[in-house]
């Protein structure tokens, strides 16, 4: 397991106690807005103006990774599932008569299908 470690230094802007079990620490860096939830005991000594140092890294752990689920070839793909996909290679529009987003919306509302 290897990963790149990132260290962020941010100024604490707010310490908000929302309940008996959670306190939000809001810290701001140049290009980051960090919100960290901690226990009230951990946040007891924190005050706005202090500096929060966060160090993190991401790792690939093969034994914990989940394989991507393949779509079975026998399942027909509904064009509505891809209605808002970005079309990079000029994918043609769904065939005439195929459901579209308005038909699906009307079905949810219980309205009759539109004509034409």
Q: Is 37 part of a structural domain of the chain? A: yes
* Domain shared by 42 and 86, yes or no: no
Q: Write the DSSP string, 40-93.
A: HHHHTT--TTSEEEEEEE----GGGPPPPPPPPTTSPPPGGGGTT---SS-PPP
Q: pTM of the predicted model, to two decimals?
A: 0.50
Q: Is 86 part of a structural domain of the chain? A: yes
Query: pLDDT of 68-96, one tens digit each?
Result: 655 555 666 666 666 555 555 555 555 55
Domains identified in the chain, total number: 2
* Domain shared by 92 and 50, yes or no: no
Q: Is 33 part of a structural domain of the chain? A: yes
* Domain shared by 50 and 85, yes or no: no
* Domain shared by 9 and 53, yes or no: yes
Query: pLDDT of 12-65, one tens digit each?
Result: 999 998 778 899 999 999 889 999 999 999 999 999 999 999 999 988 888 877
When computed from its CA atoms, the radius of gyration of the chain, rounded to whole angstroms, is 25
Q: Is 20 part of a structural domain of the chain? A: yes
Q: Is 48 part of a structural domain of the chain? A: yes
Q: Is 27 part of a structural domain of the chain? A: yes
**Domain residue limits at 24:** 5-57
Q: Are strands 23-28 and 33-38 parallel, antiparallel or unpaired?
A: antiparallel
């Amino acid at each position: 397991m290897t990963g790149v470690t990132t260290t962020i230094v941010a100024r604490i802007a707010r310490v908000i106690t929302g309940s008996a079990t959670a306190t939000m620490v809001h810290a701001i860096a140049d290009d980051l807005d960090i919100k960290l939830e901690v226990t009230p005991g951990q946040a007891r000594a924190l005050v706005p103006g202090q500096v929060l140092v966060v160090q993190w890294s991401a790792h690939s752990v093969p034994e914990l990774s989940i394989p991507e689920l393949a779509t079975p070839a026998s399942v027909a793909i509904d064009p509505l599932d891809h209605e808002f996909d970005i079309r990079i290679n000029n994918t043609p529009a769904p065939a005439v008569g195929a459901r579209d987003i308005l038909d699906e919306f009307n079905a949810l509302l219980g309205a009759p299908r539109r004509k034409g």
